[in-house]
Chain A
Amino acid sequence: MQIKSLGVVLLLIAIMLVTGWLNPSFLSDENVKSIIRWTSLFGFISLGMALVIMTGGIDLSIGSVIALAGVCMLLLLNQQHVDMEQSATVAALSKVQVRNQQLAQITLEKATWPVSVDDQLRFTNAFGQPVLGSVVRVETVDGQLKLTLREPNASFPVGSVVSWFQFRHRPIIVVIPIVLVGAALLGLLHGLLITKVGLQPFVVTLCGLLAYRGLARVLANEQAMGLGSTLVTIKEWINGVAGSVPIPFLPWVSVGRWHSVVWDSQSDSPSLDASGGTQSLPWVSWIEIPNTAVLLAIVAGVLWFAVNRSVFGRYLMALGNNAQAAKFSGISTDRIIMSTYVLCSVLAGLTGILLVFDFNSVEPSQTGSIYEMYAVAAAVIGGCSLRGGSGSIVGVVVGTAVTRSLFLSIAALSIPKSWEYIIIALALLAAVLTDELIRIIGNRRRLMSQARLAKTSG
């Protein structure tokens, strides 16, 4: 890891500790998980932006690509709510617990019914109100159809009648690739205009920012579009948990707050002295890691390898520092530059898709708005220079975490929300100032040691 990234890590830790000290609940398991979740949702665009910045360019269109991708995905899905006009009688009802979730299981008298996962059953609950429950699982047990429903409050007597709706949509497995390919084409368009026509990245992607946002609004007819209760499985996966990781000492800080922790020699662990009694604290917290964080880790890992260990990365750094020299060394700089814009747009498209699942809706004039600026901020805090040719993938991910935890700490410290942007701006300014200072001091020190070397040898 470069020293530069170490600085961002320290900054992140400092923000956590200071906020945690002022408001211990900031470091609660739930809140830490939330920081990770938001970091992973915003991480993809920061990484894409970082690649573009490393070439010395910028992509202002990210936020609009997010909105357009969301709108396009929903349009392509073409959801339809169809009443199948069939009903069945309930033979048995039971409740099951699957991974912290209460689910209802009903057994129907029919052996076959063309019902499938994500379809909705309609029934009347105990208060006589119609309720929808979506199907999570369909199985046949002893010649009877057994359906698992996501509707824990389902309570209806055996023998009541359920009817059936189907949400029809195009298969998501086809829609997602189409959206991503579409985003890639937008990136390719940016790349072509920048390299082959020679337009400035700022202008090209500014046009993108306006045009794609506009297109999203036109396509959506200025209406918010929703996912409703379809694709529950994917939604759950995206908000789901991949596993837990232990974070040491977190409880001491979040609950114990150092000074109130006393070491309990019997249990060989620290304990909290509360109202005279001794309450033992675990020394690790198990923090749940969302699936999106795993996805981000994979993307970041691949990009880290590409930047640091591949020919592509070496070319990227070379052309970011000195495009002319890179070109004269036989590097096809155009192709490398174009690929970064393509990657950036694809990652924005991916973020657009994830956000639809996360928010369950797209607001064409709002979704993703000014996200490009968050991405720039994260990339710069993470050590990228807008001059190009420098930056680290690890730094950018941590930089994203810094921006996200700043937003969350503003809430945790009950600072008025109106201060958000000012605080982010100050953090960004501090980051570039520190970077510049380190650069100047480093340069001076190197020059001096070189001069000393030359004096002794000459």
Chain B
Amino acid sequence: MPEPLLRIDNITKTFPGVKALSGVSMHVMPGEVLGVIGENGAGKSTLMKILAGVQDQDSGKLVWKGQEVRFGNPSEAISAGISLIHQELNLADNLTVAENIFLGREPTRWGVIQSRVMRQKATELLRRVGLDVPANLSLQKLSIAQRQMVEIAKSLSTAANMIIMDEPTSSLSVHESEKLFALIRQLRSEGVAVVYISHRLAEVADLSDRVEVLRDGKNAATLAREQIDHDTMVRAMVGRDLNRYFPHVPKEAGATRLQLKAARLFGRAEYAIDLDAKAGEIVGIAGLVGSGRTEVLEGIMGMRPVLGGQVLIDGKPIAMGDIRASIAAGLALVPEDRRHTGLVTALSVCDNLTLAALERVSRWGVLSRRAERQAGQEQIESLRIKTPSLQQVAAYLSGGNQQKIVFGKWIMRTPKVLLLDEPTRGVDIGAKQEIYALMEKLAAGGAAIVFVSSEMEEILGMADRTYVMHEGQIKGQLPRAQMTEQNIMQLAFGRPDHSPASVA
């Protein structure tokens, strides 16, 4: 076996409350596409950040081109030849394409930037990645896919031997993704190693020469080219059968609790959105990132204005665009971005739990500390929130426990309709299962649950029924019997739908 380009040896990394990586090992060969997969929280991003010098491992070593290395910061990794393309691109909107590519490494003479040389070099790189735009175009005129190409050109400009791509296709169209794949294959043929991280198993299966599976911060499996197929990957990622993993038991749904009638999203006003959920029902909303799923949930909740439309709770219309009215009517939303919109991370666990239901623990505006503690303690116990104390600052809890706090905050109001936006994002496997169990319990208690998820397994495992969105439109809905990955992806990619059960 030839010498690997990179060997990762027994890497361990611990964060407050979570052991992100424990003894992970793998290697990357030159000119290889290595797929790295794993559930959220499996440790992929942490591992990549260590490779790119963003974070430092607690123990274990990296051997790069035969020599042990330790990158103190990203620029050390870049000069060694490793570049990381983040999920959120790190480009400056106000600069030109060429300026972005050479940002911080501008060719200069006597301290003056040689714009012409820079443009020429940039044009060459753009040709190499197959992006047909002038080098002096302002970056803000480019689409997301084009910006990604600029990022790749930037990596190439640093003579990278290895490019790490973290969820590169999450905001790309099918056509744009195809272009990216072609480029990855071309890079491979040029001898550049590509580490490809994605949740989209089909892409991983297509591209990868080898797949490394991470689970709970450990190596779960290494799949050679001929072993790579969807089921094997899922089994390795989840580590058990999906049926056991998802506790969902379909039940008889009750009366309609939530109805959204003829709402239209800003910017996509041509489509009317109708949606409903019944008591005891768990309804999924599938679709690609950016298809308008979050906007629908936030529109129902009144967090963002929608054009027209009506929300009815138990048949009674509520005021649109008024969060307080929505909450009073029995709506609750666990947002996607819990650190910014779900939690007040500087407040204590207890203060966060009671925040939306202070009228229960106060009289005439005066808080009763005893009632607060009691209510907080109840939630901590019933949700099994792992915290040293009620007074612990929420920021120091793990993602899963933070998410449980956000759930607890709303459970304290016994909501009629619970809207969940990516409820298990960034949550470890154990907490994930507890959240699924919680969804089951709440539905069994008569709440209607609507959840948005980008994880196919979650939709397939938890939903009684799912809506599929595509570019601001509900493309169709599938009952549990017809929910397959293929049916959902077809609708999500906006292909015309001929299934008789769906209602567009």
Contact = CB atoms under 8 A, between A and B. Distances in A.
Interface of A: 305, 309-312, 314-315, 317-318, 321-322, 324-332, 389-390, 446-447, 450-451, 453-455, 458
A326 B344 contact: yes
B308 interface: no
A454 B22 CA distance: 12
B355 A314 contact: yes
B344 A330 contact: no
A294 B22 CA distance: 61
B17 interface: yes
Interface residues of B, number: 35
B366 A450 contact: no
B14 A328 contact: no
A458 B324 contact: no
Contacts of A314: 351, 355, 358, 367
Contacts of B369: 309
B16 interface: yes
A366 to B, nearest CB: 40
Given A311-B358, A318-B347, A325-B343, A454 B327 contact: no
Contacts of A329: 355-356, 409
B344 A318 contact: yes
Contacts of A455: 14, 19
A332 B327 CA distance: 12
25 contacts: A310-B362, A310-B365, A311-B365, A311-B366, A312-B365, A315-B358, A317-B347, A317-B351, A322-B343, A325-B344, A326-B355, A327-B323, A328-B301, A328-B303, A328-B333, A328-B341, A329-B355, A330-B323, A330-B328, A330-B356, A331-B355, A390-B346, A446-B16, A451-B14, A454-B19
Central interface residue in A321, A389, A450, by most chain B CB within 10 Å: A450
A339 to B, nearest CB: 12
Contacts of B18: 454
Interface in B329-371: 333, 335, 340-347, 351, 355-356, 358-359, 362, 365-367, 369
Contacts of A390: 346
A213 B324 CA distance: 39
Given A310-B365, A317-B347, A450 B327 contact: no
Contacts of B14: 451, 454-455, 458
A205 to B, nearest CB: 25
A330 B16 contact: no
Nearest to A319: B344
A312 B366 CA distance: 8
Query: Chain A interface secondary structure, helix, strand, loop or mixed?
Result: helix
A234 B19 CA distance: 67
Given A309-B366, A321-B347, A447 B340 contact: no
Nearest to A451: B14
B110 interface: no
B396 interface: yes
Contacts of A331: 355
Given A322-B340, A451-B14, A458-B14, A328 B335 contact: yes
A330 B19 contact: no
Contacts of B351: 314, 317-318
Contacts of B16: 446-447, 450-451, 454
Central interface residue in B324, B347, B365, B409, by most chain A CB within 10 Å: B347
A321 B22 CA distance: 34
B367 A458 contact: no
Considering the complex of A and B, which 8 residue pairs feature the smallest CB-CB distances, nearest first?
A450-B16, A458-B19, A330-B327, A321-B346, A329-B356, A322-B344, A318-B344, A311-B358
A446 B356 contact: no
A312 B362 CA distance: 11
Contacts of B359: 311
A322 B345 contact: yes
Given A454-B15, A454-B16, A458-B14, A325 B341 contact: yes
